[in-house]
Amino acid sequence: MPARAYLIRLVPWDKASAELRAVRDEVFVREQGVPEDLEWDGLDAASIHVLAMTRAGDPIGTARLTADGRIGRMAVRRAWRGKGVGKALMEAMMRAARERGFDHIVLNAQTHAQGFYARFGFHPEGGEFLDAGIPHVRMAARLVPKSGR
C-alpha cells in the first residue's frame, strides 16, 4: 500500500497556531464567510489540535477537541477534500478523546456534513440551527460502552 501524501499530528496551539490559523482562515473566514470574531473564540489555547500536513510541510487540514469533549473547527483545504484527510482527522480526534477518558463527545455539524459524521457513530440531537449564518445540527457519539454504571 502506498504511503499517504499527508501526515496527521497532534499539535499544541502555541507551537502550531500559524498553520492551524492558515487552514481555518482559508476555509471558514474566506470560503464560508464566518466572521473572524466568531472563528477566534478564545478556546484554542486550552484545546487539543490535530493538524494534517503535506509531506512538504504545508498545512491542509485541522480539527480541535475542547476540554469539555467537543470536536470542532474541522476544516480541510478545498484541493485536499475527498482524499481521506477528513477521515484521518476524525480518527485522530476520536482517538485523542478516548485517550483523555471521554466516553461521550459532541460536535456541531454543518448540515451538509451529517452523513460524514454519521460514519463515525454520531447521531443528531435536536433540530437544525444557524451558527455564523450556516445551518448546523448538534451530533453526539458514545466512544466506549457504559460498563454497568
pLDDT score, position 2: 57
| Grid cell for residue 122 | 454520531
User: What pLDDT does 94 receive?
Assistant: 93
State how far the Cα of 120 lies from the Cα of 117, in Å rounded to an integer.
Answer: 5
* Residue ranges in the chain modelled with pLDDT below 50: 1, 145-149
Instruction: Provide the pLDDT for residue 75.
Output: 95
Q: Which residue(s) pair with 6 in the sheet?
A: 54
pLDDT of residue 3: 67
Reported pTM: 0.89
Q: Collapsing DSSP states into helix, strand and coil, what is residue 131?
A: strand
Residue 103 CA to residue 142 CA, distance in Å, equals 6
Architecture of the domain whose range is 6-142? 3-Layer(aba) Sandwich (3.40)
**Domain boundaries of the chain, sorted by first residue:** 6-142
Between the CA atoms of 122, 58, 35 and 92, what dihedral angle is there, to the nearest 10 degrees? 20
What pLDDT is stored for residue 148 in this prediction?
Answer: 42
pLDDT at 125: 94
Q: How far are the Cα atoms of 30, 109, 110, 127 from residue 130, in angstroms, in the given order?
A: 18, 11, 9, 10
